[in-house]
Every structure is written in structure tokens, then in C-alpha cells.
Structure 1
């Protein structure tokens, strides 16, 4: 009987320990029945994210029957709220009507965004029209972001998305399904990086390798101030759907084997788009977990 008593105490201890949370998460007030994702912190006090474009009556604008995705910016508050939400100003003459994600350079001079090809920049020859590419633009007072150009390494045979910049602005991380050669994509999409040189030139894309990428899909990279890569993957042995992983950069620029983040950052549903502050104490991510307000919601964590 005494042995049984201590065994029960041991089990209770195990259960209590497994339920201890290293993180707390909070659903934000800005969430609605529409999706909110593609988070990218652009300064200590501002963030950009993706959601549907709405008209003055709050209805979703559509193009050829499909909802239009665009980017918003907001101010970060100390308690984790995001307020003063407004559209990121893009020159309408650029005819950019569908944006899945974006980031702004640390010096505030350039914006990188993932979007479809338009009549203005449509490639010649055969290509898959549903493919995305990454364009870079500059800010001009009175116009907003303008003078967009497709990044030179974007091959229209492949799709590129989810741009993220290193803190010094010298490396661009992104998702792609590039095929062929040593830097071939392993799964449906992999995470790549490319060097950004002075004068606005770029190196060749480099696959982050098998320590990061899998034979599944990797998406939504973010590189923190301490050079830890956070991303989402739907690889096997996750909690369910897409899960958030992290991989620490080695001194030579390669990455250690990615590890899955714990609950409650991950759930049985899709979890992705994690960003974290310079002190690694607070941040945000998107999730379609139960108890949300509709589609993908933004959560604050500490």
C-alpha cells in the first residue's frame, strides 16, 4: 500500500511537471474572422503583417473572385498589443494587387515583398502564372513604396515567398521550390538565403541544408538578433499541421539541427510566422488553433 501511495505521488509530480508552461500566449484584439499572418518586426516599435484588403464598409475586396491579400503595419505596445493599424502605402501605379508577406530593411529604405507577376513585369515564354516572386521597392514621399523590381535571382519557373532580413540587412532569407543542381529543394518548399551586396546587387541563392530543410514544406523564416532561425514546417512527428521550429546559426554561417518549439507555441493546428524580440523574451506568432476568432490569428507570447 505504501509503495502504491508513493507511485501515485510520483505520477502526480510527472503530470504537474509536464503541464508547466515556459510560455504564456494571448490572442490579440486585432484578430477577426479574417486571416492575420506574415508577421515581421521592422523596428523596436513597429510590425508588418498580412491580411485581406477591406473596403470602407469592412467587406473583403476581391480580384477575379479571390480575396486580395495585402500588408498592414501597426505599433507595438509594451503589454503586447498592436494598435494604430493602417495599410502599408504602396504606389498604385505599381499595380501590385496581391501580397503574401513582406519585410522592410533595417535602414527603412527598401521593402521586400512576395507577390504575383503583373502585366508590367510578366516574364517572356512559358511559366506558371501562380508562381510568386520577391520584388524590392524604395520609399518616396507622397507615393509610398514604388519603383519595384523583381529580384534578379528569381527564376519564373519557380516560386519564391516569405522574405526575411538579417538584422544587419546583408542577408535575405526566403522560401522557394528551386529545382536542380546542388541547391535543389528537398521537399515542397525549402528555406534559402542570399547575400545582399552594396549597390543593390545579390549573390546566388543557397539552400540552408538538411539540418533546416526536410522532405516536407518549410515556410515563414525569421532570423533573430542572436542569429537563431525560426520557421514553420509540416514535417512528420510534429504536434499537427505546421509547427514552429528553431535552428541556431553556427559561427561559419551554417545551422544546427532544427528543433521543434514546445507547446503552447505549437498546437494541434497550424502554427507559424513566429517573430521574437532582441532579448528573446517576447514575440508574436500566427495560429489556427482552437479557441481563435476565425481564421489565422496573431498571438502575443512571453
Structure 2
């Protein structure tokens, strides 16, 4: 399912990392033979990520024959390990079949999730069953995340995924294969953004432009406090598979030419889902590189 997820769905600056700078990269103990990806920070020293839902028998839960992905929350220790892992609490009445990525608002009140339609909630009209869409839910004590609504700009003819919020929570970034007009997707999937106006009110999706996006696939955006957008792309000129890039947003809101991050942050295998800590010198990313423990592993990095 992960392979299908990657290829159905789907960003440089004066602060660019030099190709000669060295980083220490560490594979974390949390990794297993199962995939771990979709990293997002939230709150103080907390992180969420996506992996398989494991039932009480230690088996991967399945829905309609497919393994179920869900979001886990955890703490970051002083040594920057990921500890105290638990699946996020979702209201059972919400009927969420599975979650492939998520982002929590800075105030902790809202969660944006990537999910897909099921036989019970399929929309009417022209759409692909393989399409993903983004829902927003609110947290209620005793219930967990509940009252999910499909974002109003999600057209079921297209796929929307990988939500990421700006540092102040006033803008939402995501990937899509949205077509038509000036904001059409240039490649297999591009990164778009919308302004958040209020309760389930958003601006029209805006493509980040050809200096950030390409004619290949862009995915897993993350916006740092310094207005630097990190993302993965399989565009030509990389080390292999998906590589991690970054694009600086200027004061006019325009994204500059994307720059590929150096090794060992990138490898000749898939590298993606980078998030930066507030110190701007360390963070986490996901990789399928040789020497990992399983499928997608989470790595911690720090600039030496």
C-alpha cells in the first residue's frame, strides 16, 4: 500500500546548506520492520508520525483487505530520541478508515489528516476511489479527535495529501494533482498552499510555482519558523529515488529556486519527510537507505 501511496499522490536561499558541511545522522531505536514516515512536530518537544496500526494480537490491522495506517504521537527526549509512543485518540464514530499523514495546529485544537473515501462515505459524481483528500477535526476531551470535515476546496476528481501548517498556523501547505487554470499541477503532484481564514474557511489553492515545484513529483512539505519549505521530490539531478530539497519564501511570499540538501541527509534511496527543530541545526527525516531496520526508518540529524 505504501508503494501505491507514494506514486498515486504524490520544496534555497542565502541560508542554504553547503555541500561540504558535515552532519551526524542516527537511526532511532523506535524503528522496526514496519514503515515510519509523515513526520510533523507539535507542541513542546512532541512529534507525530504515520505507521501501521497494530492490533492486540500484534498483527497489522486491515480494512477492506488493505493494511491500516494511522498516526502516532510521541515525546522527544533530551537526547532527541522518540519515546512514549501512542496512537492518537480518534472518536470511533468518526469512521476514519486510515490516515496516511497529519498535522496538528500550533494551539493543539485542530488536526488535518490525509485519508481516503470508503464504501460508506463515497462522494457523488466523478472521482477516483484511489484519490486522497484532507479532513480537519477538532479535539474533545473524552472523545479525542472528532467532528471531521472534508476541506471545502477538495475536489473529489483530484487527490490532496500531506498537510503541513505554517509556523503561525495561518497557512496550510499540501500536495495535489489539481488541474486547470493558472494553478494547475506542473508534474505528477505539486505543492500548493491556502490561507486559513477561520472555521473551515480557506482561500483558493495556490501553486507554489515552478521554482519550488517541478515536472516530477513533490511530496511531504514542512514549513520551518524561518519560512523555509522542506520537501521531497524525485526530479532529475537527485542522488536517487526521492531526495529532500528546500525553498526559501521571500518577504513577498514568493518561493525561490529549490536546492537539494547534501549527503548524508540525502542518499541514493528514497529520502523524505524532513522536519527541522527550532535550533535550525537539527531535526528528523525518513529514509529507505541501506542499513536501515525495515521499510521507511526515522533518522535524527544534527549539524556538526
Q: TM-score, normalised by structure 2?
A: 0.91
Note if contact 2:138-2:148 (Cα within 8 Å) is conserved in structure 1: yes
Cα distance in structure 1, aligned partners of 2:57 and 2:283: 31
2:124 aligned residue: 124
Note if contact 1:21-1:264 (Cα within 8 Å) is conserved in structure 2: no
Note if contact 1:226-1:278 (Cα within 8 Å) is conserved in structure 2: no
For structure 1, which runs of at least 5 residues remain unmatched after alignment?
Answer: 1-17
1:20 Cα offset (Å): 6.1
Cα distance in structure 1, aligned partners of 2:118 and 2:167: 30
1:217 aligned residue: 217
Q: 1:212 to 1:86 in 2, by over 3 A?
A: same
Note if contact 2:104-2:110 (Cα within 8 Å) is conserved in structure 1: yes
2:6 aligned residue: none
Cα distance in structure 1, aligned partners of 2:19 and 2:209: 34
For structure 2, which runs of at least 5 residues remain unmatched after alignment?
Answer: 1-17
1:259 aligned residue: 259
1:155 aligned residue: 155
CA RMSD of aligned residues (A): 1.3
1:12 aligned residue: none
1:57 Cα offset (Å): 2.7
1:121 Cα offset (Å): 4.1
Higher-RCO chain (CA-CA 8 Å, sequence separation at least 6):
2
1:54 is paired with a residue whose SS is coil
Note if contact 2:52-2:61 (Cα within 8 Å) is conserved in structure 1: yes
Superposed, 1:66-105 pairs within 5 Å as: 66-105=66-105
1:257 Cα offset (Å): 0.2
Cα distance in structure 1, aligned partners of 2:19 and 2:95: 50
2:12 aligned residue: none
Q: Deviations over 1:195-253 (max 9, x none)?
A: 00034311100000000000000000000010000000000010000000000110001
Q: TM-score, normalised by structure 1?
A: 0.92
Superposed, 1:1-302 pairs within 5 Å as: 22-119=22-119, 121-302=121-302
Cα distance in structure 2, aligned partners of 1:157 and 1:198: 25
Q: 1:88 to 1:255 in 2, by over 3 A?
A: same
1:11 aligned residue: none
Cα distance in structure 1, aligned partners of 2:280 and 2:52: 30
2:93 is paired with a residue whose SS is helix
1:120 Cα offset (Å): 5.5
1:78 Cα offset (Å): 2.0
Cα distance in structure 2, aligned partners of 1:81 and 1:56: 25
Structure with max Cα Rg: 1
Q: Deviations over 1:233-277 (max 9, x none)?
A: 000010000000000110001111000000000000000000001
Q: Deviations over 1:93-152 (max 9, x none)?
A: 111021110000001110000000245642111210110000000011111000000000
Aligned length: 285
Q: Deviations over 1:153-180 (max 9, x none)?
A: 0000000000000011100000000011
